[in-house]
C-alpha cells in the first residue's frame, strides 16, 4: 500500500517500509535545489527511518534533498550545459547487492529518463575518490553498450555518477527517474526491477 505524506507532517505511517522522496523542484529550487525542503517538518521522521536501517530512496529533487540533510554526501550542481535536460539516458548498474538493485545484474544497462537542471554530482576530489573506492556508486551514465565517459554523461557528473548509496546500504539517491520507466508504454520498463527489488527486500526484512 502507498501512503502520500505531506511535508508538514511530523510522522510517517505506522509500519512504513520504504520512504520515497520524489522529484518535483520543491519550492522552485530557490536558494538552491532541495535547501528549503530540507527544513520540512517531516524530515526528522525520514532521518529516523533511515537510521533504523529501512530503505530511503531519493529521486532527482529527492536526491538533492538527501544531500542537503546529510543522509548522502555531496551536492548536485547545475548541468555543465546550463540547460534543463529532459530525455532518456542509459545508466549502468554498478552494484546488485543493495535493497534497490537485487533484481538487476551488475553491468546491466538501463534506459531511464532524466529531467533536471541541477543534476551534476559534486564532491571534493579526495572525497570523490573515497566514494569510488568504497563502492558507493550504484548507477553510472553510459552508452547503450555500457561504455562510460564524458560523451555519455548528460550533465557533466564526474565519473558518470548517476546514483549513489550510503555506507549502510539503505539510502539511495539517483537523478534518473525509475518511476517513469515501469512499462513499455512509457518508453521503457527498465525501472520496474528497482521497485520489485526493494519490495522483495522489505518482505524479507519483515518476514512476509
Instruction: List pLDDT tens digits, range 137-149.
Output: 999 999 999 999 9
Structurally, the chain folds into a number of domains equal to 1
Is the pLDDT score of 7 beyond 70?
yes
Q: Dihedral of CA 114/120/121/125: which sign?
A: positive
pLDDT band at 28 (very low <50, low <70, confident <90, very high): confident
Catalytic, 179? Answer: yes
Compute the average pLDDT of residues 152-181.
99
Compute the average pLDDT of residues 196-206.
92
Tens-digit pLDDT profile for residues 183-193: 999 999 999 99
Residue 84 maps to a domain: yes
Total residues found in the chain within this entry: 208
Cα separation, 111 vs 193, in Å, equals 12
Residue 5 maps to a domain: no
**CA separation (Å) from 189 to 88, 106, 163, 204?**
12, 18, 18, 24
Q: Which domain holds residue 62?
A: 19-206
Residue 12 maps to a domain: no
pLDDT band at 2 (very low <50, low <70, confident <90, very high): confident
Residue 11 maps to a domain: no
Is the pLDDT score of 170 beyond 80?
yes
Residue 140 maps to a domain: yes
pLDDT score at 29: 75
Which is catalytic among the residues 49, 90, 116, 177? 177
- Per-position b or e across 106-143, b if 16+ CB within 10 A of its CB: eebbbbbbbbbbbbbbbbeeeebeebbeeebbbbbbbe
Tens-digit pLDDT profile for residues 18-27: 999 999 988 7
pLDDT score at 27: 79
Q: DSSP class of residue 136?
A: -
* CATH code, domain carrying 53: 3.40.50.880
Tens-digit pLDDT profile for residues 101-124: 999 999 999 999 999 999 999 999
Is the pLDDT score of 206 beyond 80?
no
Q: What percent of the chain has pLDDT over 70?
A: 99
Residue 131 maps to a domain: yes
pLDDT score at 105: 98
pLDDT score at 1: 73
Is the pLDDT score of 198 beyond 90?
yes
pLDDT score at 130: 99
Residue 2 maps to a domain: no
C-alpha cell at 69: 540533510
pLDDT band at 33 (very low <50, low <70, confident <90, very high): confident
Which is catalytic among the residues 33, 49, 60, 116? 60
Cα separation, 97 vs 40, in Å, equals 32
Tell which phi-psi region holds residue 45, choosing left (phi > 0), alpha (psi between -120 and 50) or beta: alpha
Catalytic, 33? Answer: no
Which is catalytic among the residues 68, 94, 118, 179? 179
Amino acid at each position: 500500500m502507498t501512503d502520500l505524506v505531506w511535508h508538514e507532517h511530523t510522522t510517517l505511517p505506522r509500519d512504513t517500509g520504504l520512504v520515497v522522496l520524489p522529484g518535483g523542484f520543491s519550492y522552485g529550487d530557490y536558494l538552491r535545489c532541495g535547501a528549503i525542503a530540507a527544513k520540512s517538518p517531516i524530515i526528522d521522521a525520514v532521518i529516523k527511518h533511515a537510521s533504523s536501517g529501512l530503505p530511503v530512496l531519493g529521486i532527482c529533487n529527492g536526491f538533492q534533498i538527501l544531500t542537503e540533510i546529510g543522509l548522502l554526501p555531496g551536492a548536485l550542481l547545475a548541468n555543465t550545459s546550463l540547460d534543463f535536460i529532459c530525455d532518456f539516458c542509459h545508466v549502468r548498474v554498478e552494484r546488485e547487492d543493495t535493497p534497490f538493485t537485487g533484481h538487476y545484474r551488475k553491468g546491466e544497462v538501463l534506459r531511464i529518463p532524466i529531467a533536471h537542471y541541477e543534476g551534476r554530482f559534486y564532491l571534493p576530489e579526495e572525497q570523490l575518490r573515497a566514494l569510488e573506492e568504497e563502492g558507493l556508486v550504484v548507477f553510472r551514465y553510459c552508452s547503450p553498450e555500457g561504455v562510460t565517459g564524458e560523451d555519455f554523461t548528460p550533465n557533466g557528473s564526474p565519473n558518470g555518477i548517476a546514483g549513489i548509496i550510503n555506507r549502510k546500504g539503505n539510502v539511495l539517491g539517483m537523478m534518473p527517474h525509475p518511476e517513469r520507466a515501469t512499462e513499455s508504454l512509457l518508453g521503457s520498463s527498465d525501472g520496474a526491477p528497482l521497485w520489485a527489488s526493494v519490495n522483495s527486500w522489505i518482505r524479507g526484512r519483515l518476514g512476509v
